[in-house]
Amino acid sequence: MKPRIAIPVPTSNNPEYNTRSWAQYAEAVNRAGGDPVQIPLDSSPRATADLINTCQGVLLPGSPADVNPHKYGHEPIPECNPADPARENVDELLIQDAHNLYKPLLTICFGTQSLNVWRGGTLVQDLAPVPVNHSAGRTVAVAHSVAVPPESTLGGMLSREEAPDQRGFLRLPINSSHHQAIGIPGDGLRVVGRSTEDGVVEAVEGGQDQQNPGAHFVLGVQWHPERTYEISPASRAIFARLISEATSWAPRAIRTSVVQES
């Protein structure tokens, strides 16, 4: 059977964005061999938990919203977009489930920021437009490059043809559609991707069990591999790894963690 991948509806207030965006994530999961499962934002916590329990992996997608800055101890600035509490609540349920049960977790753009805040990290509320336009948008296939350590989990997914080795780092060309980024990485998250031009954090990974390194697959990227699935081997490799991890996932002892307050 195909592994079921939980993907929340991106927003609670933008049906057009949801229809267009969610379909791209679902298509990438489908093509990689998984079964995408839509997680509504308007169900009860119990109904949401019951649906999540049927899934073997989690994908947190992008969103036009921004994570509530009060959750990482900052006051909102004018450039910060309104928060989406319903999306944040569902993200927290999904991250908690993935953390407790070691389910593979892939986060993209807003999803990566959501993960970082849940782990106790902070965000840069608005990126300067130069030297890199990180808000290039969904029509730009390559906005800039990311430097990735070859020994990282992400680095192991990349081909040297697409991401050549330069000065000890793999240089991966990516798209870009975000105006925020990780400031201080959250607990247990390792930075494994930075913009080659301005050093903005573009990828993190973590979730490793100290007694069993590599036991938990957690990867967060700021770019949108679902949009370049057709043209980028790296994008296909990211989704293939999520599905591979979900296929081999099996329930194990629950580890405890403090649930973040909404």
pLDDT category at 139 given cuts 50, 70, 90 is: confident
Tens digit of pLDDT for each residue in 177-209?
999 999 999 999 999 999 999 999 999 999 655
The model's pTM is 0.93
Question: For tokens 């975000």, what's the residue?
Answer: 178
The SS3 call for residue 123 is: strand
The number of residues making up the chain comes to: 262
Determine the Cα–Cα distance for residues 187 and 116; give it in Å rounded to an integer.
8
Determine which helix (DSSP H) or strand (DSSP E) holds 181, and give its type and residue range: strand 181-182
Cα gap 247→4, rounded to integer Å: 9
Integer CA distances (angstroms), 194 to 31, 148, 170, 174, in order: 28, 7, 11, 11
The answer to whether residue 118 scores a pLDDT higher than 90 is: yes
Distance (Å, whole) CA 233 – CA 225: 10
38-82 pLDDT per residue, tens = 999 999 999 999 999 999 999 999 999 999 999 999 999 999 999
